Structure 1
Amino acid sequence: MEYVNRSVTNLRASFEDLTPQKIIRLVVIVGAYALLRPYLMKLGGKFQMRGHEAQEEPEDTAAPRAKLTPNDIRGQAGIPEDSDDGEEEEEGAEGPAIATDWGKKARRRQRHVLKELLDAEERRLAELQEDEEDKDIEEFLEKE
């Protein structure tokens, strides 16, 4: 109970002693902290990343190792080519198969979806062109 009484007394005394100068000083300090905190977090993150990279480096620097990024992995799956020859690609022909290899049906579905998207875009562009032509013709028609 004694701790509660002390806390209430100290909190009340803190607010009673506030002068305009102390209020302005408090606002400046809190505002500066709010503005500088994101930059300080970025700086701390850079230092932390350097530390992690230094720990991961092998002690034998004679053989540098290549770094693998997520973008390197993402680039392995592409849009299938337009081939309906009926032959399945053999796994051993080009190297080991990866998890993103496309099957025959998946390639056909993807080609079909892409063709539909292209046709829809062509129809939309054709409609826009027809609308513009109609507006040009309306300009020359006589209005009674």
Structure 2
Amino acid sequence: MVLVQNHGFASIGALSESLGSQRFGTSYRYRGASGRLDGDLLPVDLAANAESLGADVLRCTTLGGLRDALARATASDRTTVVHVECSAQTGAPDSDAWWDVPVAEVSTLPSTQAARTTYEAARAAQRPHLAPPPPA
């Protein structure tokens, strides 16, 4: 098993941000003075969680280390997790693909209103590749 530790769903967080939702639900934080989850970052150690469940964990920080860890994991007869530490701010490469992820129609946030306008334009240009089945 390969565990990519990107500290809060980096790609989904970026998608959420692009949809005007300010990375909603993709940042692990303590509750701040406001009572909201806006305090310091919560340190979540997923490798330690895997170890606590009995898995062997191989931590790697370099490409060579990743190759070695994958070879060791493949050769192992035990559940093995290859832990890859990543930056939460490093995004995935861009592509021409478009995810049809609806944006809230009603919001007071200017970022969400702008994202909805962009969504509607992209949705109008979408070309479906599958048609619904004919009525029975």
TM-score tier, shorter chain, comes to under 0.3
**TM-score, normalised via structure 2 length:** 0.22
Structure with more relative contact order (C-alpha pairs < 8 Å, separation 6 or more) = 2
Q: Which of the two has higher C-alpha Rg?
A: 1
What is the TM-score normalised by the length of structure 1?
0.21
- Which structure shows the bigger proportion of residues in strand conformation? 2
